[in-house]
Amino acid sequence: MTAPEPRFARIASLIADPTRSRMLALLLSGEYRSAGELATFAGVTAQAATTQLAQLVDGALLNVRKQGRHKYFALADSEIAHALEALSLVAERDSVSTRWQLAGFRPLKCARRCYGHIAGELGVKQFEMLLRKRYLESENGALALSSAGRDWISVIGAEIPTTSRTRLAYPCMDWSERRDHLAGALARALLDCYQKKDWLRADKSSRALHLTPRGERELLPMLEAS
C-alpha cells in the first residue's frame, strides 16, 4: 500500500515558486498589498501576478479583500507568518554571517516588520528590555504584563490589547538574530505606538523599518536602558 502524500506537500509546492515566494516575503510585514504592488515587487506582469495570487488564496495562504475594482492581499494568519519565518531560519542557517552584511539585507537586519511586530536587532532589543525590567513576567507558563509593565505602557501611550484572538505576548525566534523577539497582540500595539510617535517609519517597498532621528533620541535609549 502506498503511503498517502503528506498534506504539507501542496503547501510546500506553493511556497517553492520564486514569484510566489517573493510575494509571501513582502506580505510578512502583516499589511495588505494590492495585486499591482505585489506584481511590481515580484517582477512579473499583472496578469501573471493574478494567476499566482489566485493559487495562494486557493491554498489558504492568503486572504483577499475587494475594495472597488481593486483587490488587496495579506497573509491568512499568524501561523502562516511563523511557518515562513521558520523556513527562512532553516534556509539561511549556513550563511548568517555573510548574507546580513549585504546592502540589501542590512536594513532588514536592523529592524523589519514581522506580521505586524518588530523583528531584527531592534525587535530583540525590545524583548530583552521588557524581560530585563520585568515589564513582562511568566505567568502559568505564558508571558503577561506586570504592574510595572502596565505603567510603562501608559507612559509611552500605547494601547494595551484587551480582547484579541492573538496571544498577548510570546517569544518568536528571529530570522536574522537567532534570538527571540516579541510577538503577539502586545507587540503589534507597541509597533503601532512607535509609528504614531514617528519613532519608526515603514519602508514602502520592503519590510524594513527605519529609525527616525526622533526615534534615535527617544526610543533607542529606552530600549537600551539597563
Question: Does residue 65 lie in a domain region?
Answer: yes
> Angle, to 10 degrees, between the axis of helix 18-27 and the axis of helix 35-42?
120
Question: Does residue 218 lie in a domain region?
Answer: yes
Q: What local confidence, expressed as pLDDT, does residue 81 receive?
A: 86
CA distances to 57, 189, 204 from 83, in Å: 16, 22, 24
User: What residues does 90 pair with on adjacent strands?
Assistant: none
Instruction: Please check whether residues 151 and 53 belong to one and the same domain.
Output: no
Question: Does residue 115 lie in a domain region?
Answer: yes
Residue 3 is classified by DSSP as P
**b/e per residue 153-178 (b: at least 16 CB within 10 A):** beeeebeebeeeebebbbebebbbbe
Instruction: Please check whether residues 200 and 146 belong to one and the same domain.
Output: yes
Q: Is the dihedral of CA 75, 96, 108, 215 positive or negative?
A: positive
Q: What local confidence, expressed as pLDDT, does residue 100 receive?
A: 64
Q: Which helix (H) or strand (E) holds 154?
A: helix 147-156
Question: Does residue 171 lie in a domain region?
Answer: yes
Q: What local confidence, expressed as pLDDT, does residue 93 receive?
A: 63
The pTM (predicted TM-score) of the whole model is 0.77
Instruction: Please check whether residues 130 and 194 belong to one and the same domain.
Output: yes
Q: What is the CATH number of the domain that holds 17?
A: 1.10.10.10
Question: Does residue 72 lie in a domain region?
Answer: yes
Name the CA radius of gyration of the chain, rounded: 19
Whether the CB-CB separation of 172 and 183 falls below 8 Å is answered with yes
Q: What local confidence, expressed as pLDDT, does residue 222 receive?
A: 95
Whether the CB-CB separation of 160 and 189 falls below 8 Å is answered with yes
The domain in which residue 146 lies consists of: 98-224
Q: What is the pLDDT along the chain (226 residues), one digit of tens a residue?
A: 565 556 788 888 999 999 999 999 889 888 899 999 999 999 999 999 999 999 999 999 999 998 888 899 999 988 888 888 888 777 766 555 566 666 677 888 999 998 889 999 999 999 999 999 999 998 877 899 999 999 999 999 999 877 666 789 999 888 888 899 999 999 999 999 999 999 999 998 889 999 999 999 999 999 998 7
Instruction: Please check whether residues 113 and 194 belong to one and the same domain.
Output: yes
Instruction: Please check whether residues 187 and 118 belong to one and the same domain.
Output: yes
Residue owning grid cell 539561511: 92
| Boundary of a domain, candidates 42, 76, 110 | 76
Instruction: Please check whether residues 67 and 102 belong to one and the same domain.
Output: no
Whether the CB-CB separation of 161 and 189 falls below 8 Å is answered with yes
Cβ burial of 68 (10 Å; 0-12, 13-18, 19+) is exposed
- Residue 25: helix, strand or coil by DSSP? helix
Query: d(Cα 23, Cα 18) in Å, to the nearest integer?
Result: 9
